[in-house]
């Protein structure tokens, strides 16, 4: 699928990012499909609602319930992550650009990008998830500290979910 030039420019170039990779012993099409299926998103990413459209210019929005207690820098966690699907190659890649995190209260954080890549690695799929932003500072640093551990736990749940089927 041809990438839209005007949308492709939203790829962040800043240094704020987090990247995780995991091997999952299922077909890449199943791995990437789990980023669009509401029931799967609820199971592995612990979302409460989602609207995800697997096509260029589709909406990608997921919501989490507010987490009790407030982070000293970010405030209450949970809220909504949303952006536009810039690229979707079934079984291979998802790129969400112009993405924002809207916390339950307080100022949004963005823009940022979410890139999901699937590649065969022997009998398994190597899933690599990269989330990156355009800005820096204490709030961004804390955000990436928080989501780094969140992505690690979520991808472990995704692996368990998909390999159990």
pLDDT tens digits along 98-131:
999 999 999 999 999 999 999 999 999 999 999 9
**What share of residues in the chain are helix, strand, coil (percent, to 5)?**
25, 40, 35
Rg (CA), the chain: 15
Q: What percent of the chain has pLDDT over 90?
A: 84
Answer whether residue 4 is part of any domain.
Answer: no
Q: For the chain, what is the domain count? A: 1
Whether the predicted model's global pTM rises above the 0.75 cut:
yes
Answer whether residue 153 is part of any domain.
Answer: yes
**pLDDT range class, residue 136, cuts 50, 70, 90:** confident
Which residue range forms the structural domain that includes residue 48? 16-164
CA atoms within 13 A on the CB side of 149: 4
Answer whether residue 11 is part of any domain.
Answer: no
CATH code, domain with 135: 3.30.530.20
Burial 23-60 (b: 16+ CB within 10 A, else e): ebebebebbbebbbeeebbebbbebeebebebebebeb
Answer whether residue 8 is part of any domain.
Answer: no
Answer whether residue 122 is part of any domain.
Answer: yes
Answer whether residue 7 is part of any domain.
Answer: no
pLDDT at 92: 97
pLDDT tens digits along 29-73:
999 999 999 999 999 999 999 999 999 999 999 999 999 999 999
pLDDT reading at 6 higher than 90 = no
Answer whether residue 9 is part of any domain.
Answer: no
pLDDT tens digits along 68-94:
999 999 999 999 999 999 999 999 999
Answer whether residue 50 is part of any domain.
Answer: yes
């Amino acid at each position: 699928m041809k990438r839209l030039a005007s949308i492709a420019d939203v790829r962040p170039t800043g240094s704020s990012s987090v990247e995780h990779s995991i091997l999952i012993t299922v077909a890449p099409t199943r791995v990437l499909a789990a980023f669009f299926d509401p029931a799967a998103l609820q199971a592995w990413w612990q979302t409460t609602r989602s609207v995800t459209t697997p096509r260029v210019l589709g909406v990608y929005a997921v919501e989490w319930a507010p987490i009790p207690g407030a982070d000293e820098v970010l405030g209450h966690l949970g809220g909504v992550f949303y952006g536009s699907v810039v690229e979707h190659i079934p079984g291979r890649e998802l790129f969400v650009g112009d993405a924002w995190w809207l916390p339950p209260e307080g100022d949004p954080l963005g823009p940022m990008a979410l890139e999901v890549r699937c590649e065969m690695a022997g009998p398994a799929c190597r899933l690599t998830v990269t989330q990156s932003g355009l800005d820096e500072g204490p709030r961004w640093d804390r955000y990436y500290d928080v989501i780094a551990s969140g992505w690690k736990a979520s991808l472990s749940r995704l692996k368990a979910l998909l390999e159990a089927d």
